[in-house]
C-alpha cells in the first residue's frame, strides 16, 4: 500500500478500506495527462523561483522517464499505489531522490485531479469530434450519390410523401453536425485551468496560474478556487452531448434494422457487419445495429449517475467526486467505438434503390401531388383532397398504384384530369417539384450538399 499521507495516523488502513478508496484501477487511464500537468506545474514553480532551474530539470527528466517507461511497457502501473498521482510521485522520488519530493509544492490532489480529468476530457472531445467528422464525410458522400434515389418519407411510420435517400440521410447529417457543435461549445466553456486552486483555497506560494494555464493550452485560469476543485459540470455536459449522439445513432440504427428486414428490403447490411444464428441456418442478423441501439442505455446511465452523484455535494472537494471517472470513461469509449462501427456499417451497406422507389409508389406517397394537380387546374384544395382520397380507395380495391389507374377512372371523379396526370404523379416529378430550401428537390438538395461540403472543409 503506497500512500502519499500517513503522518497523523497511528494505524494501518484496513485492507477493504484501502481497496474501496483506491482509484488506481481506473485513473491509471490518465497517466499521460497527470505527467503533463506535473511538467507544467514544475516549470511554473521554477519560473517563480520556488524551485531552482536544476531541480526543475531533474524533475522534468524524471517525469519524462516515467512516461517513456510506462509507454514502452517497462514500468507497470500496479494497484500497489492508491491513485495515479501517488504512482507518479513515488516513482519520481525513486528515480531522482529528494528533488522529487518538491513536485507537489503548492498543489493538492484536488486541483491535480480536477486538472487531469479536464485534460483527459478535452483530449477525448477532440477524438470524438474526429469520429463525428469521419461519419459526416461518409454521410455526405452517400448524399451526393443519391440525390435521385426515390424512397417513401414516413410520418407515424406510414408512407407520407416521396423523398430521396440523400434527403433522408441529410436529416442525420444535420443531427451529427449539431453534435459536433455541442462538442465545440463544451470544449470552449470548460477550457480554464484549475491548477493552482490547491485543496480549495489557493496557496500561499506566489504561483503564476496564467503561465500554467498557457503551458497546458487553456484560455486562462479558473476564477474561483473552490469552484475549480468541485466543478464537474463539463463532465455532465459531455455525457449529455454523448447521450444525444447515441440517441441519433440509435434512431438511425433502428431505421437500418427496419430497412434491412425482409418486409422492407430497402438495404442489405454487408456480411462483414452481420451475424448468424446458431440454430437457424438462413439467418443473417443486424446485431451490430441492434448493439448500437442497445448501448445507448449505458451512456444515458452514465449521465444519470453523475447527475445524481453531484446533486448533494457541499463545497468544495468530496470523495464522492471520484465516481466521475469510471462511467465517463466507459461512455466515451462506447461512443467512439459506436461511431466507428456505424460509419463502417453504412459505408458497406447495399441500398436497393428499385425497392425503395417501388415502395414510395405503392404507398400513395404521390397522393398530395395528385391533389395539387387538381388545385393547379382550378379545383379548391378541400375538394381535391376528397377526390384523390376516393381515387386512392379505388386503387386499394384494385391493388394498383395511382400511376396504374386508367385515365377514364380519373376523369370519372374529375374532368380536370388529363393525360399529364401520370407525369404529375411520377416519383421524379413529385420530388423535383419540392424545391423549397431544405426540401428534397434536386436543386435544393445540391445547394445544401454544397454548403455542408464547405462546412466540412472549414471545420
Ligand atoms: N482519486 C481522487 C479523485 O479521483 C483524487 C483526489 C483525492 N483527493 C483527496 N483529497 N482525497 O477524486
Query: Which pLDDT tens digit goes with each residue over 53-93?
Result: 999 999 999 999 999 999 999 999 999 999 999 999 999 99
The mean per-residue pLDDT over the stretch 363-367 comes to 93
pLDDT tens digit sequence for 381-420: 999 999 999 999 999 999 999 999 999 999 999 999 999 9
**Calpha distance 115→267 (Å, rounded):** 47
Handedness of CA 328, 135, 181, 243 (dihedral sign): negative
Beta-carbon contacts of 27 under 8 Å, excluding residues fewer than 6 positions away, are 83, 84, 85, 113, 116, 325
Is residue 201 within 8 A of residue 212, CB to CB? The reply is no
The mean per-residue pLDDT over the stretch 143-148 comes to 98
Any ligand 1 atom below 6 A from CB of 434: no
Any ligand 1 atom below 6 A from CB of 113: yes
Q: What is the CA radius of gyration of the chain?
A: 31
Residue % of the chain over a pLDDT of 70: 100
> How far apart are the CA of 357 and the centre of ligand 1, in A?
59
> How far apart are the CA of 383 and the centre of ligand 1, in A?
72
Is residue 195 within 8 A of residue 40, CB to CB? The reply is yes
Residue of higher predicted confidence among 336 and 7 = 336
Any ligand 1 atom below 6 A from CB of 132: no
Any ligand 1 atom below 6 A from CB of 293: no
The distance between the two most distant Cα atoms of the chain, rounded to a whole number of Å, is 101
Handedness of CA 243, 248, 251, 253 (dihedral sign): negative
Using the predicted structure, report yes or no on whether residue 249 has a pLDDT greater than 80. yes
**Calpha distance 322→32 (Å, rounded):** 18
Any ligand 1 atom below 6 A from CB of 229: no
Other beta carbons within 10 Å of 140: 19
Using the predicted structure, report yes or no on whether residue 3 has a pLDDT greater than 80. no
The mean per-residue pLDDT over the stretch 356-369 comes to 93
**Calpha distance 250→282 (Å, rounded):** 26
pLDDT tier for residue 1 given thresholds of 50, 70 and 90: low
pLDDT tens digit sequence for 280-325: 888 889 999 999 999 999 999 999 999 999 999 999 999 999 999 9
> How far apart are the CA of 200 and the centre of ligand 1, in A?
12
pLDDT tens digit sequence for 330-354: 999 999 999 999 999 999 999 999 9
The mean per-residue pLDDT over the stretch 15-32 comes to 96
> How far apart are the CA of 113 and the centre of ligand 1, in A?
7
> How far apart are the CA of 108 and the centre of ligand 1, in A?
9
Ligand 1 pocket test, pick from 4, 19, 23, 226 with the greatest ligand atom count within 8 Å of Cβ, gives 23
Indicate the burial class of 128 (C-beta count within 10 angstroms; 0-12, 13-18, 19 or more).
buried
Any ligand 1 atom below 6 A from CB of 321: yes
Average pLDDT value over all residues in the chain: 96
Using the predicted structure, report yes or no on whether residue 139 has a pLDDT greater than 70. yes
pLDDT recorded at residue 211: 98
pLDDT recorded at residue 300: 98
Using the predicted structure, report yes or no on whether residue 236 has a pLDDT greater than 70. yes
Using the predicted structure, report yes or no on whether residue 2 has a pLDDT greater than 70. no
Any ligand 1 atom below 6 A from CB of 109: yes
pLDDT recorded at residue 214: 98
pLDDT recorded at residue 121: 98
Any ligand 1 atom below 6 A from CB of 200: no
Residue of higher predicted confidence among 8 and 171 = 171
**Calpha distance 268→270 (Å, rounded):** 6
pLDDT tier for residue 279 given thresholds of 50, 70 and 90: confident
- Backbone phi, then psi, for 158, in 5-degree steps? -110, 140
Minimum CA distance residue for ligand 1 atom 11: 319
Ligand 1 pocket test, pick from 21, 88, 110 with the greatest ligand atom count within 8 Å of Cβ, gives 110
Any ligand 1 atom below 6 A from CB of 302: no
Give the residue numbers annotated as catalytic, written as ranges: 156, 277
Buried-exposed string 152-169: b where 16+ CB fall within 10 A, e elsewhere: bbbeeeebbbbbbbbbbb
**What is the atom index within ligand 1 of the atom nearest the CA of 85?**
5
Minimum CA distance residue for ligand 1 atom 12: 322
Amino acid at each position: 500500500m503506497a500512500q502519499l499521507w500517513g503522518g497523523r495516523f497511528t494505524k494501518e488502513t484496513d485492507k477493504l478500506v484501502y481497496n474501496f478508496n483506491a482509484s488506481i484501477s481506473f485513473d491509471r487511464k490518465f497517466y499521460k495527462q497527470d505527467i503533463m500537468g506535473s511538467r507544467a506545474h514544475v516549470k511554473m514553480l521554477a519560473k517563480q523561483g520556488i524551485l531552482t532551474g536544476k531541480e526543475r530539470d531533474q524533475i522534468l527528466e524524471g517525469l519524462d522517464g516515467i512516461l517513456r517507461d510506462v509507454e514502452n511497457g517497462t514500468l507497470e502501473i500496479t494497484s500497489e499505489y492508491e491513485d495515479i498521482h501517488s504512482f507518479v510521485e513515488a516513482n519520481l522520488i525513486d528515480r531522482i531522490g529528494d528533488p522529487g519530493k518538491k513536485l507537489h509544492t503548492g498543489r493538492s490532489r484536488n486541483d491535480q485531479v480536477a486538472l487531469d480529468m479536464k485534460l483527459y476530457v478535452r483530449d477525448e472531445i477532440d477524438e470524438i469530434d474526429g469520429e463525428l467528422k469521419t461519419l459526416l464525410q461518409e454521410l455526405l458522400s452517400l448524399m451526393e450519390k443519391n440525390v435521385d434515389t426515390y424512397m417513401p418519407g414516413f410520418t407515424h411510420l406510414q408512407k407520407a410523401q416521396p423523398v430521396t435517400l440523400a434527403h433522408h440521410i441529410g436529416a442525420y447529417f444535420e443531427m451529427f453536425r449539431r453534435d459536433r457543435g455541442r462538442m465545440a461549445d463544451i470544449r470552449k466553456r470548460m477550457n480554464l485551468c484549475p491548477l493552482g486552486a490547491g485543496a480549495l483555497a489557493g496557496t500561499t506560494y506566489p504561483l503564476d496560474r496564467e503561465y500554467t494555464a498557457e503551458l497546458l493550452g487553456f484560455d486562462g485560469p479558473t476564477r474561483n478556487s473552490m469552484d475549480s476543485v468541485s466543478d464537474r459540470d463539463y463532465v455532465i455536459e459531455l455525457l449529455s452531448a454523448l447521450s444525444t449522439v447515441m440517441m441519433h445513432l440509435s434512431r438511425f440504427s433502428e431505421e437500418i434494422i427496419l430497412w434491412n428486414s425482409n418486409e422492407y428490403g430497402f438495404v442489405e447490411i454487408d456480411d462483414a457487419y452481420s451475424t448468424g444464428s446458431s440454430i437457424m441456418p438462413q439467418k443473417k442478423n443486424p446485431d451490430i445495429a441492434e448493439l448500437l441501439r442497445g448501448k445507448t442505455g449505458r451512456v444515458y446511465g452514465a449521465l444519470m449517475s453523475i447527475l445524481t452523484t453531484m446533486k448533494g455535494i457541499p463545497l468544495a472537494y468530496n470523495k464522492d467526486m471520484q465516481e466521475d471517472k469510471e462511467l465517463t470513461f466507459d461512455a466515451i469509449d462506447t461512443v467512439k467505438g459506436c461511431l466507428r462501427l456505424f460509419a463502417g456499417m453504412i459505408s458497406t451497406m447495399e441500398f436497393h434503390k428499385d425497392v425503395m422507389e417501388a415502395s414510395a409508389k405503392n404507398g400513395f406517397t404521390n397522393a398530395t401531388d395528385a391533389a395539387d394537380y387538381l388545385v393547379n387546374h382550378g379545383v379548391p384544395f378541400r375538394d381535391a383532397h376528397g377526390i384523390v382520397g376516393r381515387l386512392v380507395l379505388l386503387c386499394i380495391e384494385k391493388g394498383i398504384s395511382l400511376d396504374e389507374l386508367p385515365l377514364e377512372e380519373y376523369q370519372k371523379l374529375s374532368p380536370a384530369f388529363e393525360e399529364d396526370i401520370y407525369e404529375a404523379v411520377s416519383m421524379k416529378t413529385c420530388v423535383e417539384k419540392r424545391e423549397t430550401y431544405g426540401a428534397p428537390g434536386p436543386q435544393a438538395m445540391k445547394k445544401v450538399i454544397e454548403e455542408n461540403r464547405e462546412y466540412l472543409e472549414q471545420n
